[in-house]
Amino acid sequence: MKLVAGLGNPGAAYAGTRHNIGQIVADNLAERLAASLTRVKFRSRFDLCSRSGEKILLMVPQTYMNRSGEAVSEAMHFYNMELADILVLHDDLDLPFGRLKVVSGGGTGGHNGLASIVERCGGKDFVRLRIGIGRPRHGEEISDYVLNRFYSDEQQHLEDIVSAASDAALAILEEGHTKAANRFNGMKLLPETEGEEK
């Protein structure tokens, strides 16, 4: 069994913001997996589904970002899962918009959601799909930048990026993170003239 958690903040005020890209991808992934994410448990919207014979718990924590680990650890312990069975979908400031990176383990890069999961789940050896949101272009404070919506030119490409991130998540589930990393890390999803400005 695998656990897939799309990180973000709950509530309409945060819908569509950069910090919620993990949730956006999780909702897209739910459509691919014929899951509804309407069940409520583990402080999350969730559903149980399967892919290629593998059971999957797909969840969107309804805690705030900095308490994501509370939701993930509840589900992990309920199903007696290992850290290696967890895939976390999250935004990443250090990747340009339009880039994806599959990694296993590593640091948190200052991401409060990842830090909470490391703390509450007892380790860092889970798989992450890092979804690039880039850095502010106009001198915005980071806290404001991540809680705002994407720039207008980014919005034009967001659907394709979310779809590619869902492809990457499915590849991780079906082929393992190493093969998925070989396919998706470094892949450019935008034209050369776009998505590179930070």
Q: CA-CA distance, 42 to 121, in Å (whole number)?
A: 14
19, 90, 111, 177: the catalytic one is: 19
Q: CA-CA distance, 107 to 160, in Å (whole number)?
A: 28
Does the annotation mark 19 as catalytic?
Answer: yes
Pairing of strands 54-61, 39-41: unpaired
Best CA proximity match to 25, nearest among 85, 89, 87: 89
57: Cβ contacts below 8 Å, ≥ 6 apart: 1, 2, 3, 4, 46, 48, 75, 79
Q: CA-CA distance, 115 to 45, in Å (whole number)?
A: 21
> Active-site residues: which are they?
19
